[in-house]
Chains A and B, each alone.
Chain A
Amino acid sequence: MSEPKAREPVLELTGITKTYQVKQGMFAKPKPLQALGGVSLRLHKKDVLGLVGESGCGKSTLAKILLGLENPTSGEVLVDGKLIGPADRQLLARRIQPIFQDPYSSLNPRKSIEEIVSLPLVVHKIGDSVSRQKAVTKMLDLVGLPARSRRGYPGQLSGGQRQRVAIARALVINPEIVICDEPTSALDVSIQSQILNLLADLREELGLTYLFISHNLAVVEHLATRVAVMYLGRIVEEALAGDLFAGPRHPYTKALLDSVLTPDPSLSVPDLHLGAQYPNPISPPSGCHFHPRCAAARDICSTTPPPHLQSGTSHVDCHLFRESADGRSLLPA
């Protein structure tokens, strides 16, 4: 999983913001809720970008924008260097496909597996019925389902098998990028590992790029090549997976890593020192959004938004660091 440098990103997001107007009552003026506060990301071919953060941090809003289900308030989405406008939804869907969390609600119970898997081909008017059938056969084989299951219905399948159908449906139109939104959290442990192995194999085989959204950091560590940590609509740290897990910089990243419960009976439940509640996004804290929960917070953290510090391919938004003179590394501030 080396990181070749001079490559064009297959997907680039620059300064994506999304603001919703939230009603406060019948006569009150709606208040703005900033779900995304300027997210910039680059995904290269065969990258697996793990996106982690607590519920409400904007992970799913970002996924919706990438899938063309929501339009960003501002900012640009570029696929292969080409700007994607609000009218290019079809184009976006052709190249970016989703796998959702719950395979029990993401498959239509009244459609046969064949109909489910071939639907993207029908929507995008690709091929005829013969070639579509062939494509379905190929896909079912690829995700490890027996060919006879094409005539079956979702109700006859187990959770793991359903998730395989969902993967087959996502891959049938040969997308380049797959958004995996918590693809294994609804599954049992023994099934989860099968699906993770399958996703890893498919990436190798088909050269796929994943945006892997998960709250399970052990899974992210296992699968991701890069990791982006989100907090309240912003990416507070992004780095190569190995670097981030070996040396987390942002205090929030540290807390998230500490929350991973490895099966080690000699350890007890960690104390994360995240006293305060996750803030209300309608009235986010001043300065650094994380400061009320940060054990290392200083005076400046509550007044001034944190600087965006870059070193190599990683970045962190935090007052606790400063860039070195040569711009290559970060030093404690």
Chain B
Amino acid sequence: MIAAHLPVLQIVVPLIAAPICLLLRRGSLAWGLSLAVSLAVLVIAANLLTQVLESGPISYQLGGWAPPWGIEYRIDVLNSFVLLIVAAIGAVVLAYARRSVAQELPESQQSGFYTALLLCLAGLLGVTVTGDAFNLFVFLEISSLSSYVLISMGRDRRALTAAFQYLVMGTIGATFIVIGIGLLYMATGTLNMADLGARLPAAGASRTVLAAFAFLTVGATLKLALFPLHFWLPNAYAYAPSAVTAFLAATATKVSIYILLRFFYTIFGPAFAAADITLQSLLIPLATVAVLVCSTVAIFQNNVKRMLAYSSIAQIGYMMIGIGFGTATGLTAGIVHLFNHALTKGGLFLVLGCVVLRAGSCRLDDLAGLGRRMPLTMFGFVLGGLSLIGVPLTAGFVSKWYLVQAAIEQGNWLVAAAILAGSLLALIYVWRVVEAAYLRPAPENAPEAAEAPWSMLIPAWILIGASVYFGVETSLSVGVASEAARFLLGGAG
């Protein structure tokens, strides 16, 4: 009986746990509940993915109302893959969170923190699972509002301004998405995404539809921090609590990319997205510039969290290049990179959280000599960094390999060169950290730093290990991603 309800349980399990968390005033109790919930969510997501791979898309009618009138949860290869990413990162981050949160937040805020984290998780999963355009906006706002709260809980006062800036930008982005959905509703009279996809060709490329397309694209790119709409991201990631940074970096922008894919391919259809030549000529240059500029900016950062935040924007650029090509190889590359980067960046931010716990900050100067004092932590950073650069036998290599292939298929040598240049730039900024940690002596008055506790090291190493594992064994990541790309290009069905 439960098997039939998995699509909705995916959302409502964290949703019902969130208010209970609020009622449990003790931080440790709230943490235990959240961890249990996130593990349940992970099991559900893994189950859904296997179900979808075996027997095709699943549809769930909320409240028993048949689509297109009722809200439909529709799970296909693409979103079950994204669900798995989000759920896995959620479980790992929650396992990690207890020590890190206990140090960074006062006891009185902790149950609120876990409530917000669960709501954010529920929102992100909801965005992914839903087949209804307006429902997508509601879940998007649930996840966004809770992520503003989570970011503002950072210790530095700049966390507040960062959260505020993100709130303003995020709300504008979400409002743009609502406008786009409203215009689509005007043109077709439906909100169900599959139904929209079926009806839009009949509505033709009227001005309403084109305006909707523009609003949705801009709204989603604001949310996923595509250059030049990325200004909210570096501060938000740099000043949020460590666990939050890892969680958001690995999930929030990825889900936004999923939204964009959904808009482009399910609602407007591959024909519309491909025919709109301005889109390709707009997305690819912006994404390429994102890769080059943000990788360069990352080199000059002194705060390692901020450095990785800029690197995230660059990596989002890679994904957008793949999506911008709109070919099977390009989409596969984009989706694989979405998966690989979630693992790599999540792992790196978790490792940084260990550094913050022991060294007290993540400024480059405070990392001096940490290689000897925290060998496991810093070795994790090195491996993650190699994956970020795209060294063979790491996950980052796989996705960049496909990306370069996609670029060469298109005869777009300039973009292929930019991808390689981006990797070289990544080498420089990762090297700066490695150099500080291993080659510089620790300062005289450095705080006594021991290895991070196991409860934090193990989750961090799970993600780092996964980012190496998926560099060797690619049948899951590339297999599912190419399946998803084929599905997207094969029509909305």
Asked if chains A and B come from one complex, the reply is: no
A: which residues have CB within 8 A of B? none
